Amino acid sequence: MALLLAETRHTLWSTSPPSARCRTSAAWVARLRPGFTAGDLAEAISSERYPDLAFTLFRWAALHPGFRHALASYRAALTAASSGRRPAAAENLVYDVLAGACCPDLQLFNTCLRFCCARRRLFPLAFDIFNKMRSLPASAACRPDVDTYTLLLTAVVRRVRRPPASMVYLHAVRSLSRQMKASGVVPDTFLLNLIIKAYARCLEIDYALKVFREMPLYGCEPNEFTYGYIFKAMFQKGRTDKRMVYFREAREKGFVPTGGVYMMAVSVLALEWRFEES
């Protein structure tokens, strides 16, 4: 405990008042009795308001004789570092998890993915974690699930703008979609909308419509965003045959399109000299 207090005094508490330092150190001593477990440590880390102190507590516990970090302590430390805007500390924890510092865990892997997907520089690391999850045996119960694919596809689709520059990201969307189907993961409406959005932004109308027609197979129903992505893509592609059909279908189902979709619908009708409908 002396090591912990000495390190904290010199490196982390320069901005906090002395009374706060005493209260924090006393709370640590009270919480972590001799023989504390990883669950006790996780509770202490989660209740600590200063992320630097929480991460110092995590490092100090690793030096404590007879103690070994477990899933609970890694989850708590990673959450504290990422939510407390300590990316360097969180990145080190992600590398530790990837190297096998603790037992594989689906929730912990998804937490690492959430941190990496939010940062462009760590995007390749997110796919390293994804590949590790896929390589683990089924008995480990760490295979990618709906949350895993949602995190990755959200990060990829965010980078999809317009062709041809975005085709490399569209290839990643296709690959993730195939792997999701092959692994038997059942997507939800949000996840399918991400795939439709990627195809629509790259003007791959036929693929977007294919996913649209497959939605009932997964027990999912299209919403206003689904119709909006398809309508915008058809407008940009010049598909005048069915774009108003999907617009009317969305209105009949009670969906309220966005302002951009309404403007496109008015433009379509005006270009076709259907001024009364517009």
Q: What is the DSSP string of 198-245?
A: HHHHTT-HHHHHHHHHHGGGGT----HHHHHHHHHHHHHHT-TTTHHH
User: What is the domain range of residue 78?
Assistant: 31-143
- 191 within some domain: no
- 45 within some domain: yes
pLDDT tens, residue by residue, 172-229: 999 999 999 999 999 999 999 999 999 998 889 999 999 999 999 999 999 989 988 9
- 61 within some domain: yes
pLDDT for 272: 61
pLDDT for 276: 53
Residues of the chain with pLDDT under 50: 1-18, 21-22, 275, 278
pLDDT for 7: 43
pLDDT for 209: 93
- 4 within some domain: no
pLDDT for 208: 94
pLDDT for 4: 41
User: What is the pTM (predicted TM-score) of this model?
Assistant: 0.82
Residue from 244, 237, 169 nearest 204 by CA: 237
- 189 within some domain: no
Instruction: Indicate the number of domains in the chain.
Output: 1
Q: Which two tokens stand for residue 259?
A: 């302002």
Query: Helix/strand/coil (H, E, C) string of 14-73?
Result: CCCCHHHHHHHHHHHHHHCCCCCCHHHHHHHHHHCCCHHHHHHHHHHHHCCCCCCCCHHH
- 260 within some domain: no
- 207 within some domain: no
- 247 within some domain: no
